[in-house]
Structure 1
Amino acid sequence: MSVRTVGQAARTAFDPAVYLVTDTTQCGGPAGVVATVRAAVAGGATAVQLRDPDASTRELAELGAALLAVLRPAGVPLVVNDRIDVALAIGADGAHVGQGDLDPVTARRLLGPEAHLGLSVSTTREAAAAAALPPGTLDLLGVGPVRTTTSKANARPAIGVDGLAAITAAARAAGAPPCVAIGGLRAGDLPALRAAGAVGAAVISAVCGTPDPRAAAAALAAAWQAR
């Protein structure tokens, strides 16, 4: 599912079906992130989010620029987690913010109307609050964690597939943006996530640090298409 056209005129629609979120440690360093992303896109990853809360501004910008060099020719969009300044500096396709990050209205004002902007939510109340934001503020909700995850420090408690279904239903009823599932996901989870109303699956450890990121992404892509 393509959520919306993002960024500059030639950029590709944002398809969150297999949405890779990077982890520099799990990938073995910045060069490993670039190699993992290249392989994952070859295997079927449809969007990439650059996430490295421990990187300096310069390090994050350099890594983002290296990823854009891989992703632009492939027509796959790149968003930056939290750091609106870095997203703007490198010309990324957008950003993703959490509940404690820069508020979405301000983030949208800084990014402009065409950039992709996602927001993390974990409850039906947060989904309803997202729906109440001015039209055009958000493009996507990241819902989770569905499973217990060790990829993110201080992650909220797992909501399970039933929790995901409740939030996606509430978001849809309130007119909120589409929902992508995140948190401890594996290929075997994806058909149930799709049935629960998610428009995609955001993954970290299912690809980062695996022996064959291309094969891991291909398995996710195949699972997403399974009925």
Structure 2
Amino acid sequence: MRLLLVEDDINLQQNLKITLEKYGYSVDVADNGEDGLFQATEYEYDAAIIDVGLPKIDGISLIKSVREQDIGYPVLILTARNNWQDKVSGLDSGADDYLTKPFHNEELLARLNALIRRAAGKASPIMTNGALSINTSSFEVSVNGEDISLSSSEYRLLEYLMLNQNQVKSKSALTEHIYDQDFDLDSNVIEVFIRRLRKKLDPQGDYNFIETHRGAGYRLRSLD
């Protein structure tokens, strides 16, 4: 999952980036609202975390501008302010949820996970597709109840495909949602990870979870 983090407190920004990357997210950062607005509208994200008190363009105005351009990925706002009016303003601007500073990273991760699931129409942290099951809270994957060990990159790829079942995703789209802006989009790394996933999830070829659409990309087909 690819995230945008707009936070002007550099220490907090870097700590959050490290934490989010530890849990498998790819994170682009900005430290002011002007740069954040450019990134928010220029690139595709699965979710954004935006501080309210930003320089150049405040967080509320940033979110309003994003929503006015019909960009609909979920937004979690961060605010150091405790009065309810600021929280209401954030939600009215188009944000989906908020956290008041200081907060525990575990709560941020849980809220972010829930926002991404809901945006994909998934209410439960456990997603199933036939014999395949993914727990997005514990990052556990199983097939027919047997645990499957995946690398963080393999898990991110599978989770993204699972959240977008029956949708064909190009290699470039998959790369953009799994890695940051500086990754080589011409790399064949997605092909390598797809081969590894097929070998780990379906070594006998019984399920054909992931289909190749030549010239278009890959699709995790629905088996439910």
Q: Which has the larger radius of gyration?
A: 2
Instruction: Please give the range of the TM-score, normalised by the shorter of the 2 chains.
Output: 0.3 to 0.5
Task: State the TM-score, normalizing by the size of structure 1.
Answer: 0.35
Greater length-normalized contact order (CA 8 Å, ≥ 6 residues apart): 1
**Larger % of strand: which?**
2
